[in-house]
Amino acid sequence: MTKVLLPKVVIEDIGAHGDRWTRGHERGGLILGFRKADALQIETVTFPEMWDHSSPTLFRRSERGHRIRALREWMRSEQTCDWLGEWHTHPGGLAAPSFIDRGSWAKLARHAKKPMTFLIFSDTDMYVGLQSGWLRSLQKLSLVEESRDALLFG
């Protein structure tokens, strides 16, 4: 089973970025990192751009700013950094995927033809999921191990 390694600094960055976004509105971005034999190693994420659309119950990512950031990371890493998935928030709601989330994630994983990870942050909780392009079901991952610097889900 594919595991997801999530540095705590990424979670802190996402939390800190909330002050720069409309209060009570969803926000999100891409998850970037490295594909290992049996793990997705998250390195960084993109943050909402002025071209994105959000409301209290929706975040629609525009390709414009996120794509540029992803390409910069890819070039800086000598073409090893990859798009691993997407993250978004559910302010005032549950950290659980909606019907719309599940449908868009399945579509993204089929398009990528690789396992993709998806994170949802609520005010008090976090959801970590894994969607494979060849499987129709989304797998909720559980915390397997925690260190001072990172969380491992599997």
Residues 115 and 99: their CA atoms lie apart, in Å, by 19
Render pLDDT for 19-77 as a digit per residue (tens, 0 to 9).
Answer: 666 778 899 999 999 999 999 999 999 999 888 888 888 888 887 788 888 999 999 99
Residue appearing with tokens 């959801």:
127
Residues 48 and 51: their CA atoms lie apart, in Å, by 8
**Count of domains in the chain?**
1
The domain that contains 27 carries what CATH number? 3.40.140.10
Higher pLDDT, 123 or 1: 123
Render pLDDT for 82-102 as a digit per residue (tens, 0 to 9).
Answer: 999 999 999 989 999 999 999
Give yes or no for residue 135 having a pLDDT over 70: no
Residues 90 and 67: their CA atoms lie apart, in Å, by 23
Taking CB atoms within 8 Å and a gap of at least 24, the contacts of 47-52 are 47/17, 47/20, 48/17, 48/21, 52/27, 52/28
Q: Which of 43, 39, 63 is nearest to 51 (CA)?
A: 63
Instruction: Look up the pTM and report it.
Output: 0.92
Burial class for 152, CB neighbours closer than 10 Å (0-12, 13-18, 19+):
middle
Domain that holds residue 62: 3-153
